[in-house]
C-alpha cells in the first residue's frame, strides 16, 4: 500500500467515525492496518451499504481511489448524499450514575498512549441520538502528533485495552492540528483530559 492510499484510509476512517457502526469501523481499520486490504474493502463497502450510510461525492471518489478494483460493483450500492449529516450522538465529560467507572481504562490507556505518538489522551461520554449505529459508551481520543500514525495508534491502544481489561471502549485517534469531521470535532469539544492530567 502506498503512502497516498494509507493517508486516504486514515482520512476516511475519521470521516466515517460515528456514521458507520463501531464494529464495522473497527474491522476496516484493523484489517487495513494488518495489510488485509481485500477484507478491509469488503467490510467498508458492505458496511456502508448494509447500514445505509450515505457518502458525499468527494467521499465516494476517495473510497473508489483506495479500491483494488476501482470498478467494484459493491460501491454502486452505496448512496451518494449532498452533505454529511450532523452527528447522531451527544458528547459530554460526565456520564450517567450507572455508567461503568473509567478509572482503570484511564490508567491503562494513559500509559499506552505515549507509545503510539500521542501527546494527549481525552475521554468523553457518548450518548446516542435517533439514527445512531452505536450505544452509549466511554470514547477515548488519543491526540497523535502530526508525524504519528492514527491506524497504528488505534490498533495498539485498542488492543492494549482489550488484552489488559477485556473492555472495548471506542478509540478514535485524532491528529493534532488537523481539521476534524463533525463527529470527532463534537467528541473533542465534549471531552476532558485524562493524560496529562
We report the CATH number of the domain holding residue 146 as: 3.30.460
Is a pLDDT exceeding 80 seen at residue 1? Answer: no
C-alpha cell at 191: 471531552
Q: What pLDDT does residue 5 have?
A: 87
Same domain, 68 and 93: no
Same domain, 73 and 93: no
Same domain, 118 and 51: no
C-alpha cell at 138: 466511554
Q: Which residue range forms the structural domain that includes residue 156? A: 89-195
Beta bridge partners of 124: 139
Over residues 112-134, mean pLDDT: 92
Same domain, 95 and 138: yes
- Asked whether residue 126 is domain-assigned, the answer is yes
The secondary structure of 123-182 as a DSSP string is: EEEEEE-TT-SS--EEEEEEEE-TTS-HHHHHHHHHHHHHHHH----EE--EETTPPPPH
Tell me the pLDDT tens digit for each residue of 17-71: 999 999 999 999 999 999 899 999 999 999 999 999 999 999 999 999 999 888 8
- Model confidence at 197, in pLDDT bands (50, 70, 90)? low
- Asked whether residue 82 is domain-assigned, the answer is no
Same domain, 71 and 113: no
Q: Determine what percent of the chain is predicted with pLDDT higher than 90.
A: 83
Q: Is 195 helix (H, G, I), strand (E, B) or coil?
A: strand
Is a pLDDT exceeding 90 seen at residue 131? Answer: no
Is a pLDDT exceeding 90 seen at residue 130? Answer: no
- Asked whether residue 96 is domain-assigned, the answer is yes
Angle (CA) 100 196 17, round 5°? 55
Tell me the whole-structure pTM to 2 decimals.
Answer: 0.93
The total of structural domains in the chain comes to: 2
Same domain, 61 and 112: no
- Asked whether residue 63 is domain-assigned, the answer is yes
User: Cβ–Cβ contacts within 10 Å for residue 24, how many?
Assistant: 20
Q: What pLDDT does residue 169 have?
A: 87
Amino acid at each position: 500500500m502506498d503512502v497516498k492510499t494509507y493517508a486516504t484510509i486514515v482520512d476516511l476512517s475519521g470521516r466515517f467515525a460515528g456514521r458507520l457502526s463501531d464494529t464495522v469501523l473497527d474491522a476496516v481499520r484493523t484489517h487495513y492496518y494488518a495489510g488485509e486490504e481485500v477484507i478491509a474493502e469488503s467490510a467498508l463497502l458492505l458496511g456502508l451499504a448494509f447500514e445505509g450510510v450515505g457518502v458525499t461525492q468527494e467521499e465516494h471518489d476517495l473510497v473508489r481511489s483506495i479500491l483494488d478494483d476501482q470498478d467494484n460493483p459493491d460501491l454502486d450500492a452505496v448512496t451518494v448524499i449532498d452533505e454529511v449529516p450532523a452527528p447522531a450522538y451527544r458528547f459530554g465529560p460526565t456520564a450517567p450514575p450507572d455508567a461503568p467507572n473509567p478509572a482503570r481504562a484511564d490508567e491503562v490507556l494513559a500509559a499506552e498512549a505515549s507509545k503510539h505518538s500521542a501527546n494527549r489522551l481525552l475521554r468523553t461520554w457518548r450518548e446516542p441520538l435517533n439514527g445512531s449505529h452505536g450505544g452509549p459508551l466511554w470514547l477515548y481520543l488519543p491526540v497523535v502528533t502530526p508525524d504519528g500514525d492514527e491506524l497504528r495508534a488505534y490498533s495498539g491502544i485498542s488492543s492494549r485495552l482489550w488484552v489488559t481489561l477485556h473492555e472495548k471502549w471506542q478509540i478514535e485517534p485524532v491528529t493534532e492540528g488537523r481539521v476534524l469531521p463533525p463527529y470527532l470535532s463534537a467528541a473533542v469539544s465534549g471531552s476532558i483530559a485524562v493524560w496529562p492530567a
